[in-house]
Amino acid sequence: MAKDQEADEKAQDEAREYRAEELAREAGITVRTLRFYRERKLLPAPRREGRIAWYNDHHLARLRTITALLDRGHTLGGIAELIAAFESGRDVGELLGLEGLESTVTVPWSEETPVRLTPEELADYFTGQVTPENLATALDLGYVAVDGDEIVHVSRRLLDASSALVGQGVPLAAVLAAADEVRAHADALAELFTRLIGSHVLPGTEDAAAAIGRLRPVSMAVVEAELSMAMDRRIRSELGAWLKEQTAEDAGRDAAEG
């Protein structure tokens, strides 16, 4: 009898369902954030019973995984891609427990630190430029997410860099537009390096995880060196053209005054 009761309790636990408010509370987020994740298709559809949406432990595990991945520096866009990739045959929650090669592949190469901000603190970073349009663009880029009364920015470095550019007179809208272009170029570079690794490194090694780990700093060094040299070339070229223009304008003013 005791065994039957234990089995019944276990079955009830496995079949546990939650309303939206209960699920959000269990996951440590707000209902607003839960709805936002659903709109971004980060959660599977709940079971409907009339007008009531019922969630289960699979949804709870997914929410906890999303929070963990955000804390580790993933963007919401990246999380959506991971979910799509792992949804066939294995739940995305396993990402946090993978070992060996799978762990090396899924752990972010970046070491970004998420930042939690109140709307007022965010406004202090970008005085007068946190408009609904700019906030929507940042959400689409996956730079920020809304969690209750707070805004989570996925990267302290990107936040500081964006603020510095705005402080130098670049409009926030232009910074976000540039970020979209940088994302595209970064994706192209990442594709190049992963193609090299997949074609020339993985087939000839017995310890793929260690090999990929060693190549992380190498790839970052190549990108940093090439970007530095490209900036040198562009700045010399652009500055030279600007100086010629300024010299011509000064000469014209001198002639007019003479």
Tell me the domain boundaries of the chain. 1-111, 112-196, 205-258
C-alpha distances in Å from residue 159, one per residue of 72, 153, 188:
16, 7, 23
Task: Give the residues across from 56 on adjacent strands.
Answer: 17
Q: Are 214 and 104 in contact (CB under 8 A)?
A: no
Regarding predicted confidence, which is higher, 78 or 180? Answer: 180
CA distance 213 to 205: 13
How far apart are the C-alpha atoms of 175 and 152, rounded to whole Å?
Answer: 18
* pLDDT winner (highest mean) among 67-71, 96-100, 168-172, 243-247: 168-172
Q: Report the mean per-residue pLDDT for the chain.
A: 80
pTM of the shown model: 0.58
For 103-122, the pLDDT digits (tens) are 454 455 666 788 888 899 99
What are 186-212's pLDDT values in tens digits? 989 988 988 888 888 878 777 777 777
Domain 1-111 is found in CATH 1.10.1660.10: yes
